[in-house]
Structure 1
Amino acid sequence: MALFLSIFPIVLLIYLMVKRNALPSYVALPWIAVVVLMIQLVFFGTDISTVSANIASAIVAVQTPITVIFGAILFNRFSEISGATDTLRKWLGTINPNPVAQLMIIGWAFAFMIEGASGFGTPAAIAAPILVGLGFPALRVAMLALVMNSVPVSFGAVGTPTWFGFGPLNLAESQILEIGSMTALIHSFAAIVIPLMALRFIVSGKEIRQNLGFIYLSIFSCVIPYFLLAQVNYEFPALVGGAIGLLASIFFANKGIGLAKVENTLDNKTTTFGEVAKALFPTGLLIAILIVTRLQQLPFKAMMNDATTWMSVQLGSLGTFEVSQGLIFSLKNIFDTSINASYKLLYVPALIPFVVTVLIAIPVFAVSGSKTKDIFVGSFKQTKNPFFALVGALIMVNLMLVGGDNSMVKIIGKSFAEATGEYWTIFASFLGAVGAFFSGSNTVSNLTFGSVQLSTAEITGLSATLVLALQSVGGAMGNMVCINNIVAVSSVLNINNQEGAIIKKTVVPMIVYGIIAAVVALTVIPMLY
C-alpha cells in the first residue's frame, strides 16, 4: 500500500497532463500537491507542523525557479522590443540560411555552453526565443530545446550536479572524478543519436540526411573536448565543450561544410558589423557575467554564496528570518522543526545576470520609458501561471521527501532496486530521470537518489561509481520531461496548456537515452574501467 500511494500521485499527474482535454500545469500541480498532502496526513501520519514547515519551505524555494523564469522572460522581451532579436535573425541568415545549421548552432552548441555556465533551465530560456525569432514554430522549438539540453546537464552550472549532487555521499575526490568520466562517456554515446531525434521535431528526415555531415561536425566539436576534459575535471566540461563547439559550428556553417545549399528566405538586407555587435551585446554581457560569477578561481562566487549572518529576526512560530552577507535570505527552524529554506538573491541567475543585463542594455538601445515599463509589466504578468505550477510542484516534491529513508521517494527507489537486483544497471538511469521529472533538477535528483543508488550498488555488488554515473545521466535525460523545465520554456515562449503534449513527445527520446545508457554501461564501460 505504501508503494501504491507513493507512485499514485505521479501517475495521476501524468494522466491529468496528457489526457484529452488535459489540465494545464498551473491547475494540475497544485491539485496533486493536495493529494500528496492528504496521503501524508492520513496514511503516513505525518504531524501537521512537519507538513506546514515543508509547505512554507516550498513557498520560499519556489522563488529560485520563478525568478529565473522572470529574468529570462524579461531578457527575451527586451531583445524583441529593442530590435536585438530581429538583427540576430538577419545575421544568422547571412551565416547560413539552412535551418539545420541554425538549429544546431543555437539549439545545440549555444545551449550547451550556456548550460555549462548556468544550468537552472537557462539554456532553453535563452536559445528557444532566438529560434522562434528565426521563424521556427514555438511548440516544436520547446520540444527541441528540452531534448537538446540533456547531454551537457550533468556538468551544468560548472559541474554542480556532479560535485554538489553527490556531496552528501562523502566520496573520495578520485571517485567523483571517475563518476564524471563515466558520465561523460555515456552522454557522448547518446549524443550520436539524441540531437537527431531533437531535430526531427522541426525538420524532415530528408533534410537531416542531406545535412548529416554538418550535424556530426557540430555534435563532435562540442562532445570531444567535453569528454576529454571530463577525464581530468568535473566543473568545466560543458562550458568549455560548448564554447569550442559553438565557434566551430559557426565556422563550419559559414563555410557551408557538410550543409546542403538552400534558398535564403530571410530578409536579404545585410547587417553591418556594428549592428551585429550591438545586437550581440546583451547576450555577450549575459554570458560574461555568468562565467565571471561562477568561476571558483575568482572571488565573486564565494562572495555571492557568503552565508555569514548579517541580520536575524525571530518571526514567532514561523521561524528565524536571516539575511547573510552574501544576501542569502533564509527562513530557519520553520514551525519549530529542523526544516530550513533559503533564496540566494545574488547567485541564482535571475537578478544577476538577467535583470542587471537588461538594466545596462536599456540605455545602450535607447529604449523609451514607456517601452521599458511594458517590458517589466508584461514579464510579471507572464510569470503568474508558472508561479502556481511551480508552487504546486515544489510542495509535492517536499512532501514526497518527508520521512527520510521511509519517504515516498525512497519507497519508490528501494522498491525498484529490490525488483531488479543485479540487473539494476539497466534501470538505474530511469530512477535518476524520475528524480529530475518531479524535482526539476539533475542536482536535486542526485541528492535525492544518490544514497539509494549507492546502497543498491553495495547490496548487489555492482560498481558504485558506474551506478552513480548512471544516476547522473538519468537526472540529465530527465530534463526532457521535467515539469519545471517544461513550464519554464513554455512560459518564455508564451505557449499555453501544452505541457502534456510536450511530455508525450519528449518521453520517447528520454527512453531511448536510457536504453543507450544501459547498453554503454554493460558493454563499453567494463572494457575501459
Structure 2
Amino acid sequence: MKWTQVIDPLNNIALSVLIAAVPILFIFWALIIKKMKGYQASLIAIVIATLIAILVYGMPVKLAVISIGHGALYGIFPICWLVTMSVFLFNLTVKSGQFEIIKHFMASITSDRRLQALLIAFSFGSFLEGTAGFGAPVAITAAMLVGLGFNPLYASGICLIANTAPVAFGSIGIPITVASQVSGIPELPISQMVGRTLPLLSILLPFYLVTIISGFKKAQEVLPAVLVSGISFAFLQWFSSNYLGPSLPDVIAGLGSIVCLMVFLRFWKPKVVWRFANEPAPTVNTNIRYTNGQMLRAWSPFMVLTIMVIAWGMQPIKDVLNSIGMFQFEVPGLHNAIQDKEGVLLPKLFKVNYLSAAGTAILIADLIAIPLIGLTYREGAQVFAATVNQLKFPILTIAAVLGFAYIVNDSGITLTLAAVLANTGFLFPFFAPVLGWLGVFITGSDTSANALFSKLQYATAASIGVDPVVTVAANVSGGVVGKMISPQSIAVAAAAGDLVGKESELFRFTVKHSFIMLSVICVITLAQAYAVKWIIPVYEMLNSTKIVATPDASRGYVYLLGLAILLVALASTIVVMTKKKPQTPNLVS
C-alpha cells in the first residue's frame, strides 16, 4: 500500500503552516526558554512531530516509526561515526602530552585569544570543512580551543559561527554537487553564484567573530590581522569557486588564510595581548624551545588526518573503496512506500560505505597516529573507550535529531513550510535563503537541504522570471547560516566543548547571529535577482541524457599506493627526526 504526502492537510494553508511549525517552534522554545538538554528536547520534538504526522497528515503509524528509525540509523552512521573518530583523535593528542607542544606552538605565534580564534576556528576549521565536513570541523576546532584554555561556551559557539563561511563548499563540494543533480543546473554556475555571495560574508566574519569574543573596541585593536585573514580567505574563496569549481574553495581558502596570517604576524603584533578576563594567567613557559622533530611529532596526528581526508575525498579512491567496502539495502517497509504529490515513489535506501566514509579515514589517521605520538595500542584502546563514554549523550542526541529530521521530511511537514515561502511572488528571492536555512536547521546538513529544496527553488524562480541559479545558490548560501543552530551541530559542538547537557546555552549563544547573517544573505540575494543581474553567470542546463563514465578502478589503486608511500615517508621522517635529539624540551637560559 502506498501513502501519498499532502502539503495542505487542513485545506487551509495558513492553518496547515501553523500546525507544521509547531515541532520546530518547540525546539526553539525548549532550548531558548526552557533550557532543556539537547537529547530531551529532540526526543520530545519527535513525539510532537509524530503525532502531527499521524493525526493531521494521515501518515500511517508504521511508516512514521520506520522513518524515525531510518533517521536515527543515519545519525549513528555516518554522523556519530565521524564525530567519535574526530574527538578520539583529539583525545589521543591530549593523552600523549603532544597537545601541550601544540599549545606552545600556537602561543609562539600569538597568545592573543582573538588571533588564535581566527587561526583555528576560522581558517583551520574551513580547511577541515573542505576535506571532511559533516561535523568534523566543529568537533576538532572546538576541542582544540578548549584545550588551549578557551571558555568552553565561547570555544564551541565561535567554532559554530566560524563554520558558516565554508559549509557551502564542504566535503569537497558535495552540497553544490547535490544542488546541481537535483536542479539540473551545472555545478560550475552554482559554485560561481555562491562564490559571488559568501565572500562578502567571509570578509566580515573574522571581525564579527573577534567582536563577539572581545567587544567592538578590542576588535579594532587587531583590525590589520582581521583584514588579512578575511580578505585573503574571501579572495581565494571567490577565485577558486569561480574558476576551479566547488571542490577546493575551502581547502585553498583555509590554508591560504592560515599562511597569510602567520606570515603577517611575523611582522606585526597587537600592542596588548588580549585574554579572557576570568581566565588564569598564561601557563606556557616562553623559555622552552622544542626541536623541529618534537614539533613535527606533535602535529603528526593532524597532518595524517589532513592527508587522509584529502585522499578519501578523491573520486578514484572513493570508487575503489566503495567497490570493495560498501553495501546498501532498501529500508524495509519504507522504500517506495511514500509517494509525493506528483505520484513519484520516494526511494528509501541506506548506504553503508564503511570504507569510504570520512569517519573511517579519520579512524585510520587515529591508528597511524597512536605509535607516532608515543602511545601503545592498549593505551589507545583505553582512550577510545573513554571517548565513547564521553559521547554517550551526544550520540543519543544526534540520533534523535536525525530521527526528527526524517519524520518531518517524510510526512510532508517540511513541504508545507516550503510551500508558503514559494508563494511569496516577487519577494521570493528574498525568502529563498530562508528555505535553505530551514532545511539545514531541520536536517543539520547543507547537502540534505539542497536535496530537499533545489528543485522547488528552480521551479519557483522560473515561474516569476528570475534566473533559477540565483535562488538555487541562495538555498546553498542560506543553509550555511542555519548550520550554527541546527540541533545536530549544537550536539556535536557540545560534545567537543565539554558542554553536554548545556546545549540550550550554546543555542542561545548562536541563534541571534544566525538570524543576523541570514538577513544579510536575503538582502544580497534580492539584489542579485533584480538590481545586479550582471553578476549572474551565463550557463546551459545539464543534458539529462549525458553518459556517465564507468569508474576506472586502476586509478584508484594507484592513488592508494601513492597515499601509502606518502604516509610511510611521513612516519619515517617523524621517527628519524625525533631520534636525533632528546624528547625533553630545551630550556633557554
Matched position secondary structure for 2:196: helix
Q: Cα 1:328–1:59, aligned 2, differ >3 Å: closer, same or farther?
A: farther
On the 8 A contact 2:439/2:448 being kept in 1, the answer is yes
Displaced runs of 4 or more, over 6 A: none
Q: Which residue of 1 aligns with 2:330?
A: 332
- Which of the residues 304, 307, 324 maps onto 1:288? 307
Deviation at 1:333, TM superposition (A): 4.3
Q: Which residue of 2 aligns with 1:113?
A: 127
AA of the residue aligned to 2:60: D
Matched position secondary structure for 2:351: strand
- Structure 1 position 408 matched with structure 2 position 420: no
Q: Which residue of 2 aligns with 1:30?
A: 43
On the 8 A contact 1:96/1:256 being kept in 2, the answer is no
Q: Which residue of 2 aligns with 1:382?
A: 390
Q: What is the alpha-carbon distance in structure 2 between the residues aligned to residue 55 and residue 508 of structure 1?
A: 30
Q: What is the alpha-carbon distance in structure 1 between the residues aligned to residue 331 and residue 437 of structure 2?
A: 31
Q: Which residue of 1 aligns with 2:74?
A: 61
Deviation at 1:399, TM superposition (A): 1.2
Deviation at 1:139, TM superposition (A): 0.7
Q: Which residue of 1 aligns with 2:510?
A: 506
Q: What is the alpha-carbon distance in structure 1 between the residues aligned to residue 334 and residue 172 of structure 2?
A: 35
- Which of the residues 455, 461, 465 maps onto 1:461? 465
- Which of the residues 202, 208, 222 maps onto 1:197? 208
Q: Cα 1:177–1:368, aligned 2, differ >3 Å: closer, same or farther?
A: closer
- Which of the residues 253, 267, 274 maps onto 2:285? 267
- Which of the residues 288, 292, 300 maps onto 2:317? 300
Q: Which residue of 2 aligns with 1:309?
A: none
Instruction: Identify which range, 38-47 or 275-284, moves more after superposition.
Output: 38-47
Q: Which residue of 2 aligns with 1:493?
A: 497
Q: Which residue of 2 aligns with 1:239?
A: 251
Q: Which residue of 2 aligns with 1:347?
A: 356
AA of the residue aligned to 2:138: A
- In the TM superposition, what whole-angstrom CA distance separates every residue of 1:29-49 from its partner, at most 9, and x where no partner exists? 012111111212222111233
Q: Which residue of 2 aligns with 1:83?
A: 97
AA of the residue aligned to 2:169: F
AA of the residue aligned to 2:452: T
AA of the residue aligned to 2:470: L
- Structure 1 position 279 matched with structure 2 position 298: yes
Matched position secondary structure for 1:331: strand
Q: Cα 1:179–1:336, aligned 2, differ >3 Å: closer, same or farther?
A: closer
Gaps of 5+ in 1: 307-324
Q: What is the alpha-carbon distance in structure 2 between the residues aligned to residue 64 and residue 512 of structure 1?
A: 31
Deviation at 1:12, TM superposition (A): 0.8
Percent of matched pairs sharing the same residue:
21
AA of the residue aligned to 2:290: T
Q: What is the alpha-carbon distance in structure 2 between the residues aligned to residue 452 and residue 504 of structure 1?
A: 31
Q: What is the alpha-carbon distance in structure 2 between the residues aligned to residue 50 and residue 93 of structure 1?
A: 54
Q: Which residue of 2 aligns with 1:150?
A: 164
- In the TM superposition, what whole-angstrom CA distance separates every residue of 1:305-332 from its partner, at most 9, and x where no partner exists? 33xxxxxxxxxxxxxxxxxx3x224331
- In the TM superposition, what whole-angstrom CA distance separates every residue of 1:187-220 from its partner, at most 9, and x where no partner exists? 1111232332222332232221010011110111
Instruction: Identify which range, 192-201 or 2-11, moves more after superposition.
Output: 192-201
Q: Which residue of 2 aligns with 1:318?
A: none
- Structure 1 position 215 matched with structure 2 position 226: yes
Q: Which residue of 2 aligns with 1:321?
A: none
On the 8 A contact 2:37/2:501 being kept in 1, the answer is yes
Q: What is the alpha-carbon distance in structure 1 between the residues aligned to residue 500 and residue 301 of structure 2?
A: 27
Q: What is the alpha-carbon distance in structure 2 between the residues aligned to residue 97 and residue 255 of structure 1?
A: 15
Aligned pairs, number: 498
On the 8 A contact 1:433/1:475 being kept in 2, the answer is yes
Matched position secondary structure for 1:112: helix
Deviation at 1:352, TM superposition (A): 1.4
On the 8 A contact 2:123/2:254 being kept in 1, the answer is yes
Q: Which residue of 2 aligns with 1:252?
A: 264
Deviation at 1:105, TM superposition (A): 1.1
Matched position secondary structure for 2:64: helix
Matched position secondary structure for 2:358: coil
Q: What is the alpha-carbon distance in structure 2 between the residues aligned to residue 366 and residue 229 of structure 1?
A: 39
Q: Cα 1:275–1:204, aligned 2, differ >3 Å: closer, same or farther?
A: farther
On the 8 A contact 1:66/1:383 being kept in 2, the answer is no
Q: What is the alpha-carbon distance in structure 2 between the residues aligned to residue 246 and residue 469 of structure 1?
A: 27
Q: Which residue of 2 aligns with 1:515?
A: 519
Deviation at 1:261, TM superposition (A): 4.8
Matched position secondary structure for 1:193: helix
Q: What is the alpha-carbon distance in structure 2 between the residues aligned to residue 143 and residue 59 of structure 1?
A: 25
TM-score by length of 1: 0.90
On the 8 A contact 1:30/1:388 being kept in 2, the answer is no
On the 8 A contact 2:207/2:223 being kept in 1, the answer is no
- Which of the residues 401, 406, 420 maps onto 1:398? 406
Q: What is the alpha-carbon distance in structure 1 between the residues aligned to residue 72 and residue 328 of structure 2?
A: 12
RMSD, matched Cα: 1.9
AA of the residue aligned to 1:367: L
Deviation at 1:147, TM superposition (A): 0.5
Deviation at 1:368, TM superposition (A): 4.3
The structure with the larger Rg is: 2
Q: What is the alpha-carbon distance in structure 2 between the residues aligned to residue 201 and residue 329 of structure 1?
A: 45
Q: What is the alpha-carbon distance in structure 1 between the residues aligned to residue 104 and residue 190 of structure 2?
A: 43
Matched position secondary structure for 1:341: strand
On the 8 A contact 1:119/1:156 being kept in 2, the answer is yes
AA of the residue aligned to 2:455: S
Deviation at 1:163, TM superposition (A): 1.1
Q: Which residue of 1 aligns with 2:342?
A: none
AA of the residue aligned to 2:241: A
Q: Which residue of 1 aligns with 2:541?
A: none
Q: Which residue of 2 aligns with 1:129?
A: 143
Q: What is the alpha-carbon distance in structure 2 between the residues aligned to residue 370 and residue 300 of structure 1?
A: 30
- Which of the residues 10, 25, 39 maps onto 2:52? 39
On the 8 A contact 1:77/1:375 being kept in 2, the answer is yes
Deviation at 1:370, TM superposition (A): 5.6
Q: Cα 1:336–1:152, aligned 2, differ >3 Å: closer, same or farther?
A: closer
Q: Which residue of 1 aligns with 2:379?
A: 371
Q: What is the alpha-carbon distance in structure 2 between the residues aligned to residue 86 and residue 336 of structure 1?
A: 50
- In the TM superposition, what whole-angstrom CA distance separates every residue of 1:383-434 from its partner, at most 9, and x where no partner exists? 211122122211211111125xxx111110111222x221112221122111
On the 8 A contact 1:30/1:391 being kept in 2, the answer is no
Q: Which residue of 2 aligns with 1:315?
A: none
Q: Which residue of 2 aligns with 1:313?
A: none
Deviation at 1:277, TM superposition (A): 0.7
Q: What is the alpha-carbon distance in structure 2 between the residues aligned to residue 200 and residue 208 of structure 1?
A: 5
Q: What is the alpha-carbon distance in structure 2 between the residues aligned to residue 169 and residue 46 of structure 1?
A: 28
Q: Which residue of 2 aligns with 1:16?
A: 30
- Which of the residues 466, 469, 474 maps onto 1:470? 474
Q: What is the alpha-carbon distance in structure 1 between the residues aligned to residue 430 and residue 25 of structure 2?
A: 22
Matched position secondary structure for 1:192: helix
Q: Which residue of 2 aligns with 1:526?
A: 533
Q: Which residue of 2 aligns with 1:2?
A: 16
